[in-house]
Chains A and B, each alone.
Chain A
Amino acid sequence: MSPLAAILVRDIRIAVRVGGGALIGVLFFLVVVTLTPFALGPDIVLLKRIGPAILWLAALLASLLALDRLFAADHEDGSLDLILMGRAPLELVVAAKGLAHWLTTGLPLIIAAPLIGLLLNLDGRAEAALMLTFLVGTPALTFIGLIGAAIAVTLRRGGLLLAVLVLPLTVPVLIFGVAAANAAVAGSVPFGNPFTILCALTLASLVVGPFAAAAALRQEME
């Protein structure tokens, strides 16, 4: 088994077995969405209009959940030392861990989004657009999050700092994700415009994320 495949399989196994399993991100997503009518009032017309925005915010917060243990757990039990002694480039190892995180956090969100969208009274067109923006945008959330997780690796309770570091970096993804989802419904802007920018952001993050995270890890391990 190649080193990267080994890391991928191991991280997926751990994510599925530990804590609430892979579905706790979806549960958090559902809880956040459930909270919004309590804050905004049960006006279903309003909820339908801002539904994509609420779902994107909730997905963003849910993606953050598993990130702070991503490197910290390996650091605490000494695995990170050995990973740095492996023959696979650290950037690729980090990318493999990112992929495992997306498969166990982002992918369940994409599947759950349409069902939870029903709670906000979204129609079929809005749901389809939302799923598509999630599919393209959640990898960006994961891979940008890798950077913050790597910076906060040596901190014991780095969770909040991680959120503070990562959330501002994800703002462009949020803007274009919501814009694309809304464009599909309102029709004033063609869907393709914000969507292609979202794709570009994700592709950039797939490269920048692992490199920045690997550099941060090497610095922190000093």
Chain B
Amino acid sequence: MAVIDLANPSRFLKFANRTIPWLGGVTVVAFAFAINQAIAAPDDYQQGATVKIMFLHVPGAWLGMLAWGLMTIAALGTLVWRHPLADVAAKAAAPIGTAFTLMCLITGSLWGRPMWGTYWVWDARLTSVLILFLLYLGVIALWRTVEDPSRAARAVAILTLVGAIDLPIIKFSVDWWNTLHQGASVFRLGAPTIDRSILIPLLLMTAAFTLLFAALLLAAMRNEILRRRVRALRLMQASCVS
């Protein structure tokens, strides 16, 4: 069955119903393994055990940005190709991305307090991630405000595309501006600068969280399709009663 066949909502529901259970199982296993490795990882000689907040903070950041990237592609799907599931995916991804971004902000704040003496500074990276969080909330508010899902989808698509400018700003903020935040240590030209004993658990945790994201996204998309069916049924019900 080609991926394009999933474009049909009914087929997608069947695919989702089959996939979500085992994807959930794989996610649990991945977490079990990743958390095990994370606990076994050595403490930082300066920060001690608090460095391990990184294992929540970094995946939160990456997935918060990944979700918006996914929403951007979905936005193109809605506006350009008019793919039927594009706006379902966009609407489902928004709250999940918001949650990961919030996790990134809160864990970062708790991590920074012992190091910087404050819960928050207005440096470039933190501010641009906060802006991303606000953009997410704006998108969710827009979804809720416009009654008709397909009209809402087009408005949200435009907002998503404009907001995507924040993603490169977040990525390069630590290079472009003088910030308190640590510079890029994984995705950079040349080798990663983190020691392998920390890098491996970090990548494992990120992989586990990504699987979680995929499972949640499929479940949320399924819910959204069912929600739209309920709405269509209600419209039919109203027109059937004389």
Contacts and interface: CB of A to CB of B under 8 A. Distances in A.
Answer whether A and B touch in the complex at a CB cut-off of 8 Å: yes
A108 interface: no
5 contacts: A20-B140, A27-B138, A44-B120, A47-B122, A121-B120
Given A19-B144, A19-B145, A20-B145, A27 B134 contact: yes
A158 interface: no
A24 B122 contact: no
Interface residues of B, number: 17
B170 to A, nearest CB: 15
Contacts, number: 40
A21 B118 contact: no
Contact of A42 (B109, B119, B122, B138): B122
A16 B141 CA distance: 12
A180 interface: no
B134 A118 contact: no
A88 interface: no
Contacts of A193: none
**Chain A, interface SS category:** helix
A42 B123 contact: yes
What 6 A-B pairs come out closest when comparing CB atoms? Answer: A42-B122, A20-B141, A37-B122, A118-B119, A27-B137, A119-B120
B134 A44 contact: no
B207 interface: no
A34 B140 CA distance: 18
Given A118-B109, A118-B119, 9 more contacts: A19-B144, A21-B144, A24-B141, A27-B137, A27-B141, A34-B134, A37-B127, A42-B121, A42-B127
Nearest to B113: A118
Contacts of A27: 134, 137-138, 141
Contacts of A30: 134, 137
Nearest to B142: A20
Contacts of B138: 27
Interface in A30-69: 30-31, 34, 37, 42, 44, 47
A68 B136 CA distance: 26
B131 interface: yes
Nearest to B118: A121
Contacts of A31: 134
Most buried by B among A19, A21, A27, A119: A119
B128 to A, nearest CB: 11
A30 B141 CA distance: 14
Interface residues of A, number: 15
Contacts of A37: 122, 127
A1 B141 CA distance: 32
Given A37-B127, A42-B122, A20 B109 contact: no
Interface string B138-181: 10110011000000000000000000000000000000000000
A27 B139 CA distance: 11
Contacts of A21: 141, 144
B131 A34 contact: yes
B235 to A, nearest CB: 18
A34 B130 contact: yes
B179 to A, nearest CB: 10
Interface in A53-94: none
A103 B99 CA distance: 25
A24 B144 CA distance: 11
Nearest to B143: A20
Contacts of B120: 44, 118-119, 121
B31 to A, nearest CB: 28
A114 to B, nearest CB: 11
A123 to B, nearest CB: 10
Contacts of B134: 27, 30-31, 34
Nearest to A40: B122
Contacts of B141: 19-21, 24, 27
Nearest to B120: A119
Contacts of B121: 42, 44
A31 B134 CA distance: 7
